[in-house]
Structure 1
Amino acid sequence: MDMVLESKSELDRLLGMEVYGTTTSGTGGVIRKSLEDFVVEEIPLPGGPSGSLALLVIEKRGIDTLTAAVMLSKKLKIPLKHVGFAGLKDTRAISRQRFTVKVPENFDVYSISSEKLKVIDVYRAKKHLRPGMLLGNSFTIRIRDLDVSVREAEDLLRGTLSQLSELGGAPNFYGYQRFGVNRPNTHIVGKLLIQGDYEKAVMEMLATPYPNEPEDHKEARAFLAETMDFKRALKKFPRSLIFERLMIRWLIKRPGDYLGSLKRLPRYVLTLHVDAYLSYIFNKALSERLRKLGSLRRVVEGDIIAKCDAYGNPVRPTFIAKSPLELGEDQVVLAFVPACVKVKPEGYMNELVLSLFKKEGLEPPFKSLESLGLQGRMGLLRQLAFKPRDLSYTVKDDALEMKFALPKSSYATALLREVMKPEDPIAAGF
């Protein structure tokens, strides 16, 4: 592959996913025609010692992880900060993942089950789950309404997988979910937080409607943008917009205190937005590397290299390449996107990342994050490629069904994007 294929998707480019790693034609099609078409299950770390916390295995249907955490908090009558989880899972899916909560041992946690949130199993744990405390995720995904016959789709899939193997894995882009599908603006808010423009950040979160969100959400946001009447707007914001309503209530009490309204949000919500902006920078840097260097097996001077475990997750020790070389099968290149630390422009990826920040009018470390209590954010360290494990595919009911496992922090949609190459990812179910 001498040259990369540029994405024709406006959304892809908005999120920094500007190119593909493969040049094959896409199968087209749609994912998530029903929740059953997208099933994800967490691969947990080996069990630790038993303790005072309940470790719940939850099946959630059609809700995001943060909403599930809020629901658990309310049902169990415990503070939201006492609900732990290892990673964010897809919203429009059937997802099975683990949560830790502090409840008495004799409490019947199965009684809190509902249609959208069902307790499957209960264990005891000594420590709360935190982001990253998992090995990966396994997926079963059906692609329906293909643009080609299922047999042609199988041939295209084989060709794409062959090119990804030659490339050194799938480009490890942060997927659409990282930025919001219906409201792809978490990175926009993140940049405003980094710039310290708290009023603009709040108004982007509250009063900027996006085309693909529900009509009542758009109407509420448009009303607030037009009137700036927080008291009347509160009545229009649906109760499902939990965090927006929290911020609005604060601004009714303390007009103009935009920083205070942001501080009403759980810390992980603020972190999510800041990290989304860093993710956008990573995506743009990875796109540029693919344009300039092609193969993700190719190592240049200054690259950070790590070995991977059996699940494809980077493990220490890492080392810095002193000269160009080819990666081994169990090795990956890592890129660091800084937040609250200063980094010298040494090495190809560092130079790319820092030049992108400069174009955006920013230079780390980002002191403004101190006001939000996020001064400890070092940044993101992420592998440039991932390799799906245990991958199989079959034709079922005129759909192409794929099963595979991915390392933690890698997105199934990043792999599906290479296979399907959708010009309109939202219409395609992404």
Structure 2
Amino acid sequence: MSEQQDAPWNLDWPRALGGAAISADFRSEPEDFVVEELAAPQPGEGEHVLLQIRKRGANTGYVAQQLAKLAGVQNNDVGFYGLKDRHAVTTQWFSVWLAQKPEPDWRQIESDEITLLTHFRGTRKLRRGEHLGNRFKIRLRNVRGDRSAAEAVLKQVSAGVPNYFGEQRFGHNGGNLDLANRFSGEQEAGKRRRIPRNQKAFAMSAARSWLFNQVLASRVVEDNWQDLIEGEPETAASGPLWGRGRNPASGAQLDLELAVMAPWKPWCDWLEHCGLSQERRPLMLQPQGFQAEWQDEDLILSFALPPGTFATAVLREVAELVNQSTSAIK
């Protein structure tokens, strides 16, 4: 392993819009982070029940487990579009496959944390990433720093920010990266052992995300993260999600990506061995309907993002965030 891999994980990626001129308290209470799925599942006659739920202070997995328990089905019979924050107020859809089981009284799911908004029958299970995206309304409290400089950054956000994977992808204190380091190192040393499925999934996701962020960070430093460079395989600037198969980049783009990822070759080899296929991800993220409003010492931001992207990628360009919660964020 390289010295870089043995060092503590640095998740403070380079900023692109001039640097955060302010700091603010983040997630002081759940209502400071409001998320609404942009989704409209269609009702129909079928063996699935679709439920729209608003939750506060609960994570998606917990709600899914409670639905499975109430319906008397297996956990994997419950579907949803994506994981949502625990320390937040979020509105999202779930599906429950009942097959021939009787339908329970869904109102029994309600608690201080869970509110059922509506439900109806549907024809299929909801799957990750199939929705249109998420709408966010986020309050940053007790803003300190240069507001005029922050305004200059805010005016640039709609044009795009670096599409980094958020810190939550890497686990508490980079714990998922530690797993990736260990598993790839064991493979390099020829050790074979059975890896728990959930640990392997977290490690693979973190490793791919880390490699992508490394490439994106290098492009941000070179100030060409929005530009098409020679050998770009997409119609917009993109970076690798590593896996098995040929990297579709060529020329200068391929040389850059291989150079950045060279210290992480054991990770690349491990991801290929795991059977993941090469994919590409845009380097730029454009928030839709971005609005910023000052309320005394607070800054309220509203915007929408596509699935698989992170609100924190937007927030970190605006402010240094002092997280007041200990929950993972997405």
TM-score range, shorter chain: 0.7 to 0.9
* Alignment CA distance shift 1:61-1:258 (3 Å): farther
Distance 1:345 1:138 in 2: 33
SS of 1:141's equivalent in the other structure is strand
Distance 1:63 1:258 in 2: 34
Q: Is the 8 A contact 2:226 2:283 kept in 1?
A: no
Which of 276, 282, 287 is matched with 1:388 structurally?
287
* Alignment CA distance shift 1:84-1:428 (3 Å): closer
- CA offsets 1:66-114 (integer angstroms, 9 cap, x no match): 3332333333332121111111222211111111111356421121222
Which of 11, 19, 25 is matched with 2:14 structurally?
19
* Alignment CA distance shift 1:189-1:395 (3 Å): same
2:35 corresponds to:
40
SS of 1:343's equivalent in the other structure is coil
AA partner of residue 289 (structure 2): D
AA partner of residue 339 (structure 1): G
SS of 2:234's equivalent in the other structure is strand
**How big is the shift at 1:48?**
6.7
Distance 2:225 2:265 in 1: 29
Distance 1:195 1:83 in 2: 35
* Alignment CA distance shift 1:163-1:398 (3 Å): closer
Which residues of 2 match residues 327-406 of structure 1 at below 5 A?
332-343=236-247, 346-362=250-266, 363-364=268-269, 366=271, 368-369=273-274, 375=275, 377-396=276-295, 398-406=297-305
Which of 201, 211, 223 is matched with 1:281 structurally?
211
- CA offsets 1:289-341 (integer angstroms, 9 cap, x no match): 1112x1433211121334xxxxxxxxxxxxxxxxxxxxxxxxx3232222233
Distance 1:46 1:101 in 2: 13
AA partner of residue 259 (structure 1): R
Which of 226, 248, 262 is matched with 1:297 structurally?
226
SS of 1:41's equivalent in the other structure is strand
TM, length-normalised to structure 1: 0.65
**How big is the shift at 1:138?**
0.4
Distance 1:428 1:27 in 2: 19
Which residues of 2 match residues 16-165 of structure 1 at below 5 A?
17-44=12-39, 47=42, 49-103=44-98, 104=101, 106-148=103-145, 153=147, 155-164=148-157
AA partner of residue 34 (structure 1): E
Distance 1:172 1:25 in 2: 16
* Alignment CA distance shift 1:117-1:348 (3 Å): farther
1:414 corresponds to:
313
Q: Is the 8 A contact 1:336 1:382 kept in 2?
A: yes
**How big is the shift at 1:279?**
0.3
AA partner of residue 210 (structure 2): Y
Whether 2:163 is the aligned partner of 1:259: answer no
**How big is the shift at 1:347?**
4.5
* Gaps in structure 2 of 5+ consecutive residues: 1-6
**How big is the shift at 1:33?**
0.6
AA partner of residue 231 (structure 2): G
Q: Is the 8 A contact 2:67 2:78 kept in 1?
A: yes
SS of 1:107's equivalent in the other structure is coil
Tell which has more relative contact order, 1 or 2 (C-alpha 8 A, sep 6+).
2
* Alignment CA distance shift 1:160-1:52 (3 Å): same
Q: Is the 8 A contact 2:187 2:270 kept in 1?
A: no
Distance 2:252 2:52 in 1: 42
**How big is the shift at 1:194?**
4.3
- CA offsets 1:29-76 (integer angstroms, 9 cap, x no match): 111111011101111156375422111112222233233323333333
* Alignment CA distance shift 1:72-1:417 (3 Å): same
AA partner of residue 205 (structure 2): D
Structure 1: which 4+ aligned runs deviate by more than 6 Å? none
SS of 1:146's equivalent in the other structure is strand
Which of 162, 182, 196 is matched with 1:192 structurally?
182
Distance 2:67 2:252 in 1: 44
Q: CA RMSD in A?
A: 3.0
SS of 1:298's equivalent in the other structure is coil
Distance 2:80 2:108 in 1: 20
AA partner of residue 72 (structure 1): L
* Alignment CA distance shift 1:115-1:183 (3 Å): farther
Distance 2:163 2:300 in 1: 22
* Alignment CA distance shift 1:50-1:384 (3 Å): farther
* Alignment CA distance shift 1:341-1:50 (3 Å): farther
**Which moved further from structure 2: 111-120 or 183-192?**
183-192
Distance 1:345 1:381 in 2: 10
* Alignment CA distance shift 1:258-1:58 (3 Å): farther
Q: Is the 8 A contact 2:232 2:250 kept in 1?
A: no
